[in-house]
């Protein structure tokens, strides 16, 4: 065999060893890779959907917990207002008809045990001073009326303060701060006793809703 023929033979053997993929091998490889890619994409999509759902649920729970804790902390200061309404209609529980036992919670009450608003009286720290000279527990100026209610899905707090004669001296009405503004909330309240009320708050974030409820003791006169 000549050197040229030997060289050509070696070249042919080398080319044979370095031959490319056949069409069948390419098709099979692409098919296997496609199956793997679709499976991986499906798993990632499911994981992302589950993470979004959990995160949304946690956000709804955080909003409900924030709203409920705000109301509870405020309601724990509730105190019966015994204003007899000598110069004006009573500003406290004596304004309820039929009459009820002394209570700081005006709505809900013994007559209307369920309500979508919560109204109660608490001390007006600017005037409430039982040890002060000339202080009278009957003066409406010593108390303020607080109402929690929902407007367009937003939890709000309204506060009314009075003069000694029972006339309104100041009114404020503010949205209760939540971690995410605009998250719809719902409020329901139930009368349990003159010194106890149940508060239920539901917060909804996208399609996830969280409901939290607790009973709150209030002070007696």
Q: For residue 52, tell me if it sits in a domain.
A: no
Q: Is 38 inside a domain boundary? A: no
Residue 126 φ/ψ, nearest 5 degrees:
-75, -25
Q: Lowest mean pLDDT of 55-59, 129-133, 200-204, 210-214, name the range.
A: 55-59
**At 184, is the secondary structure helix, strand, or coil?**
coil
Decide: 70 and 85 in contact? Cβ < 8 Å: no
Q: Would residue 139 count as lying in a domain?
A: yes
Most confident option among 17-26, 61-70, 186-195: 186-195
pLDDT of 74 over the 70 cut: yes
pLDDT, tens digit, 9 for 90 and up, residues 94-107: 999 999 999 999 99
Residue 8 has pLDDT above 60, yes or no: no
Structural domain count of the chain: 1
Does some domain include residue 23?
no
- pLDDT score of 143: 97
What is the span of the domain harbouring residue 199? 60-217
Q: pLDDT band at 4, cuts 50/70/90?
A: low
Cis peptide before 98 (omega within 30 of 0): yes
**How many other C-beta atoms can be found within 10 angstroms of the C-beta atom of residue 16?**
8
Task: Give the separation between CA 95 and CA 84, rounded to whole angstroms.
Answer: 9
Model confidence pLDDT, tens digit, residues 40-64: 666 666 666 665 667 777 888 888 9
């Amino acid at each position: 065999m000549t050197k040229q023929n030997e060289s050509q033979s070696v070249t042919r053997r080398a080319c044979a060893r370095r031959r490319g993929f056949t069409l069948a091998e390419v098709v099979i490889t692409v098919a296997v890779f496609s199956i793997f890619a679709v499976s991986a994409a499906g798993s990632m999509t499911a994981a992302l959907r589950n993470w979004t759902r959990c995160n949304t649920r946690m956000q709804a729970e955080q909003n409900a917990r924030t709203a409920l804790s705000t109301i509870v902390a405020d309601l724990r200061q509730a105190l019966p207002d015994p204003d007899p309404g000598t110069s004006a209609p009573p500003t406290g529980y004596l304004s309820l008809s039929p009459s009820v036992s002394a209570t700081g919670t005006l709505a809900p009450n013994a007559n209307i045990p369920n309500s979508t608003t919560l109204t109660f009286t608490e001390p007006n720290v600017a005037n409430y001073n039982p040890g002060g000279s000339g202080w009278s527990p009957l003066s409406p100026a010593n108390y303020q009326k607080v109402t929690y209610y929902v407007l367009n899905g937003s939890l709000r707090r309204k506060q009314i303060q009075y003069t000694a004669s029972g006339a309104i001296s100041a009114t404020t009405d503010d949205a209760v701060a939540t971690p995410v503004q605009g998250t719809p909330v719902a409020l329901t309240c139930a009368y349990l006793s003159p010194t106890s009320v149940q508060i239920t708050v539901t917060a909804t974030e996208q399609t996830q809703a969280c409901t939290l409820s607790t009973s709150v003791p209030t002070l007696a006169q």
